[in-house]
Amino acid sequence: MTASPLLFDRALLRRRLDRAAPEFGAADFLKARAAQDVVMRLETILRRFPIAVDLGARNGHFFKALSESDARANIDTLIEADLSGRMLAGRETLRLVADEERLPFGDATLDLLVSTLSLHWTNDLVGALIQIRRALRPDGLFVGALFGGATLTELRQCLLAAEAELTDGAAMRVSPFADAIDAAGLLQRAGFALPVADVDRVKVRYAHPIALLRDLRKMGETSVLLDRSRKPLTRKVLFRAMELYVERFAEADGKVPATFEIVSVTGWAPHDSQQKPLRPGSAKMRLADALGTKEQSTGDKAG
């Protein structure tokens, strides 16, 4: 079997997250939004989850949102896990330093696993999802949120354009993200049952694009691509990219938007009690009869 190509430097990611930990709370609005959305989904599921894990917990927004929700009564034990020990420091919850690519949980030991805005840094996303599915007990639930392909599209375009204009070529400076259209398919490939995916597109407005770069640094979301250019952006290229950002995307009041696409997914570890799709051709009623309409022929059948 061919190993998945390595896209990200996970050791560098850990260092970036450690560095970002003291200031993460100043730019955690996306984490808070995604965590609140996960909790709202859990509020609609009327069942208990004795053991739950928050994978990629960062500064604990899922725990905070859960504590303010009726869904908290359905979870007996919550373990917060993160690649960065500094992100977990100082909290009183059960905490575990864990790598999303090498989960330390035994097979069928968890009832619920949530992950908000951390799985996009895995080199093998399907492999990470398979590990999550194996860690869940039959009929266990996974709820995740990760950045989708439209995230930071404005910044990506302007960095590429500025570097191509002022240098011999352009290097990738913004990480690739999963395609929102394929999200449910990724869960199916990982063996999840009843996969569902939807997209929340968020526009954040800044007085200047430099403020966006500062937020990305505070989030620990600056690029950790293995194939990144080892030459830092020159001031000339960076300033040109910021000029292009303002020229191309500034709105009427002078502020610039930054797009973040949050892809939310849910999937269940397979269990015999779950609904199964019917076999093709097993329907007992025509669709036209069910809808109360007249069936229209699409043409003669092939001979």
**80 compared with 166, residue with greater pLDDT:** 80
Q: What pLDDT shows up at residue 273?
A: 79
* Euclidean distance between CA atoms 36 and 31, whole angstroms: 9
**pLDDT at position 289 over 80:** no
**pLDDT at position 232 over 80:** no
* Euclidean distance between CA atoms 92 and 104, whole angstroms: 21
Contact present, 257 and 207 (Cβ < 8 Å): no
Mean pLDDT, all residues of the chain: 89
Nearest to 71 by CA among 28, 96, 38, 95: 38
**pLDDT at position 217 over 50:** yes
Q: What pLDDT shows up at residue 259?
A: 97
> pLDDT tens-digit profile of 174-191?
666 777 778 889 999 999
Domain boundaries, the chain: 8-152+174-204+257-271
Flag the least confident range among 86-95, 177-186, 199-208: 177-186
Contact present, 13 and 121 (Cβ < 8 Å): yes
Q: What pLDDT shows up at residue 129?
A: 97
Integer angstrom CA distances of residue 273 from 75, 112, 128, 255: 22, 17, 25, 52
**Nearest 5°: CA angle at 176, between 172 and 179?**
150
Q: What pLDDT shows up at residue 299?
A: 59
For 211-215, what is the mean pLDDT? Answer: 97
**104 compared with 234, residue with greater pLDDT:** 104
Q: What is the CATH number of domain 8-152+174-204+257-271?
A: 3.40.50.150
pTM value is: 0.86
Q: What pLDDT shows up at residue 1?
A: 46
**168 compared with 105, residue with greater pLDDT:** 105
Residue corresponding to tokens 């269990």: 271
**Strand arrangement, sheet containing 136-147:** 94-97, 75-82, 49-55, 110-116, 136-147, 256-268, 193-206
> pLDDT tens-digit profile of 139-163?
999 999 999 989 999 999 999 999 8
Q: What pLDDT shows up at residue 228?
A: 61
Q: What pLDDT shows up at residue 286?
A: 66
Nearest to 149 by CA among 190, 120, 116, 171: 120
Residue type, 177: F
Q: Helix or strand or coil: residue 94? A: strand
For 206-225, what is the mean pLDDT? Answer: 95
HEC letters along 100-165: CCECCCCCCCEEEEEEECCHHHCCCHHHHHHHHHHHEEEEEEEEEEEEECCCCHHHHHHHHHHHHH
Q: At what angle do helices 153-166 and 235-249 cross, to 10 degrees?
A: 130
Instruction: Tally Cβ neighbours within 10 Å of residue 273.
Output: 7
For 77-86, what is the mean pLDDT? Answer: 98
Q: What pLDDT shows up at residue 271?
A: 85
* Euclidean distance between CA atoms 198 and 38, whole angstroms: 12
For 273-295, what is the mean pLDDT? Answer: 65
For 246-268, what is the mean pLDDT? Answer: 97
Percent of the chain with pLDDT over 70: 85
> pLDDT tens-digit profile of 15-72?
999 999 999 999 999 999 999 999 999 999 999 999 999 999 999 999 999 999 999 9
Residue type, 193: A
For 240-245, what is the mean pLDDT? Answer: 96
Residue corresponding to tokens 């938007």: 257
Q: Structure tokens of 142?
A: 């996974």
